[in-house]
Amino acid sequence: MRSATVKDFEAVIRDAEVEDLRIFLGRFMEMCVQPGANSAHFGNATNVFIDACKNIYNDPSVPRLVKLIESLFKNAKLESRLSPPVPAQPQRCRMMGCGMRMERPQPLSAARPSQPSRSWASSRVRPGPSRTD
């Protein structure tokens, strides 16, 4: 569970048989209601589960799963956790096996808009070639 990604959780939720899905969702909803109780054994799995539920909740192609997830989160008083979706497969930290989710770094060009360089030499007005017609 510690190394499961959002994509893994989504696949399990979408593909599970009804009885397996009932057990799986029930157990994870219990873990979400009591987040500190299971973190030692399952790490960040409850947050990854919630991220997968967000993605499914915002997918109009599976209306029955959307209603089921909405109902479960409302009953658990966690409906506020179903805000905007997250990327399906965030990168994971490989350092010392911590498994912590990381955002992909943005390229420098996307991080800040390019601006013309403003050096002293470029700000000076330079006379152009004189033209006489």
pLDDT tens-digit map of 50-79:
999 999 999 999 999 999 999 999 988 988
Structural domain contains residue 71:
yes
Structural domain contains residue 112:
no
Structural domain contains residue 111:
no
Structural domain contains residue 47:
yes
Domain count, the chain: 1
Contact call for residues 53 and 12 (beta carbons, < 8 A): no
Q: Specify the pLDDT at position 57.
A: 92
Structural domain contains residue 125:
no
Structural domain contains residue 123:
no
Whether the model clears a pTM of 0.75, i.e. scores above it, the answer is no
In 1-133, alpha helices (H)? 6-15, 18-33, 35-42, 45-57, 63-75, 108-111, 120-123
Structural domain range at position 96: 6-103
Structural domain contains residue 118:
no
DSSP classification of residue 3: T
pLDDT tens-digit map of 75-117:
889 888 887 655 555 555 555 555 555 555 555 444 444 455 4
Q: What is the distance between the alpha carbons of residues 23 and 83, in angstroms, rounded to a whole number?
A: 24
Structural domain contains residue 95:
yes
